[in-house]
Amino acid sequence: MPRRRTDAGVLVKTTIEVPEDLWKEVKILAIEEGVTLGRLIELALREFLKAKKRPVAENVTKASDES
């Protein structure tokens, strides 16, 4: 079966386990927002990764401080 393509690239199908209460809350939010559960999770993961990124200079300074 070929992989689906979107503007963001090739989609990968996966299975995850999450607590039932969290799944229900996210599913309700997806319905309220008018998006699929997959799209809502994609957006949340992108925001999480964006928040984790730091400027390169900060990483270099931190690494040199630890030496």
pLDDT in tens, 17-51: 999 999 999 999 999 999 999 999 999 999 998 89
Residue 54 has pLDDT above 80, yes or no: no
Q: Enumerate residues 6+ apart whose C-beta is below 8 A from 36.
A: 30
Residue 55 has pLDDT above 90, yes or no: no
What's the mean pLDDT in 11-16? 91
The answer to whether the CB of 41 falls within 8 A of the CB of 23 is no
Cα 65 to chain center, whole Å?
31
- Closest listed residue to residue 30, CA positions, set 39, 42, 22: 39
Please report, for the chain, the start and end positions of each structural domain, with discontinuous segments joined by +: 5-66
What are the tokens at 37?
């559960």
CA–CA distance, 51 with 47 (Å, rounded to integer):
6
Q: pTM for the complete prediction?
A: 0.64
Residue 27 has a CB neighbour count (10 Å cut-off) of 12
